[in-house]
Structure 1
Amino acid sequence: MDRFVILSGCSGGGKTTLLVELHRRGYTVVEEPGQRIVREAMSSSGDAVPWKNMEAFLRRAITLAANDYALANDQSQSWVFFDRGLIDAAAALQAVTGEPLLTALASRYRYHSRVFLVPPWLEIYS
């Protein structure tokens, strides 16, 4: 989708701050799947977190990101900005397991051809 834009990069680069501002300006934004998974696991003593079970965490992130994509496709006809997303999770899972799913998922879940990568920004990291 040409209207689906991924913001990616390391922690502390300002993705969340940027997404908050985009939302304030009326754009649809989607929170990073990983943050939601960690919150859920912390409240339920789950183990699908990167420091316990990276593969389970990444598979859950792919599922959430696919659901986010479908929901955004159904609910928004304008720009949608994703904090990381399916491509990030699929690339990480492929790196961890060797499972060649990135190409298949990338062809099924299309995003804008331009991805915004935020660099580390130590002055704002908290």
Structure 2
Amino acid sequence: MKNIDANQKLYIITGGPGAGKTTILNELSNNGFTTVPEDGRRIIKEQIDLDGEGLPWINKKFFAELMFEASVKTYHKMYANTDMKPIFFDRGILDTIGYLKLENIPIPKEMELIAGEMVYNKNIFILPPWKDIYENDSERKQTWEEAVQTFDCMVETYLKYEYNVIEVPKISIVERVQFILDTINNL
């Protein structure tokens, strides 16, 4: 694995809910890579425990603000990591922008500016909707149709910010991870 510079070491794995992002991140972690879990799930769990309003089914705007704030903190922490090996994120700052767009919530200008300044590696990996593995759970309440819409919105959002969107094929978890690693090595 070649070494890369600061923000170039930060790779996003994104897509709609239930497409296998967490499973891929777990496999990458098992292979010795630094991975960053999705902030949204953690926020949902915290808000449920607090009986808070920052839940996507109660207050979407507040939930997005919490996600954005957490993503920015995580970005700074990982950017400062002195290990120059790739770091893989389960979603990134732009996912919050995509979420706001998907929910027809106005995107604050400050949020757009920050998202434009906090750049990851320009090659992001996106997982397409995959009905065979899609499942709901206590934090994932989206329908299959919403999962597909989220995927489309993420593609559009990342392209708007001039990222190269690389679709990860629907193959076994080991093959998906190898696809990602091979792609990084060949960039």
Give me the TM-score of the superposition, normalised by structure 1.
0.90
Segment drifting more, 67-76 vs 19-28:
67-76
Letter in 1 for 2:84: Q
Give deviations 1:71-94, integer Å, cap 9, x for gaps: 112234321111112111133335
- Equivalence for 1:106: 115
Query: Contact 1:28/1:80 (CA < 8 Å) preserved in 2?
Result: yes
Letter in 2 for 1:118: L
The residue correspondences of 1:10-89 to structure 2 (distance < 5 A) are 10-75=16-81, 76-89=83-96
Query: Contact 2:43/2:67 (CA < 8 Å) preserved in 1?
Result: yes
- In the TM superposition, residue 33 of structure 1 has moved relative to its aligned partner by 1.0
**Runs of 4 or more consecutive aligned structure 1 residues displaced over 2 Å after TM superposition:** 74-77, 90-95, 98-103
Could you say what the CA RMSD is over the residues aligned between the two structures, in angstroms? Answer: 1.6
Segment drifting more, 60-69 vs 71-80:
71-80
Alpha-carbon distance in structure 1 between the residues aligned to 2:65 and 2:121: 23
SS in 2 for 1:8: strand
Alpha-carbon distance in structure 2 between the residues aligned to 1:28 and 1:2: 14
Letter in 1 for 2:117: R
- In the TM superposition, residue 125 of structure 1 has moved relative to its aligned partner by 2.3
Query: Contact 2:97/2:107 (CA < 8 Å) preserved in 1?
Result: no
Letter in 2 for 1:81: F
Give me the TM-score of the superposition, normalised by structure 2.
0.63
Query: Contact 1:90/1:101 (CA < 8 Å) preserved in 2?
Result: no
Alpha-carbon distance in structure 2 between the residues aligned to 1:43 and 1:90: 26
Alpha-carbon distance in structure 2 between the residues aligned to 1:111 and 1:83: 13
SS in 1 for 2:108: coil
Alpha-carbon distance in structure 2 between the residues aligned to 1:20 and 1:71: 20
5+ residue gaps, structure 1, are: none
SS in 2 for 1:112: coil
Segment drifting more, 4-13 vs 91-100:
91-100
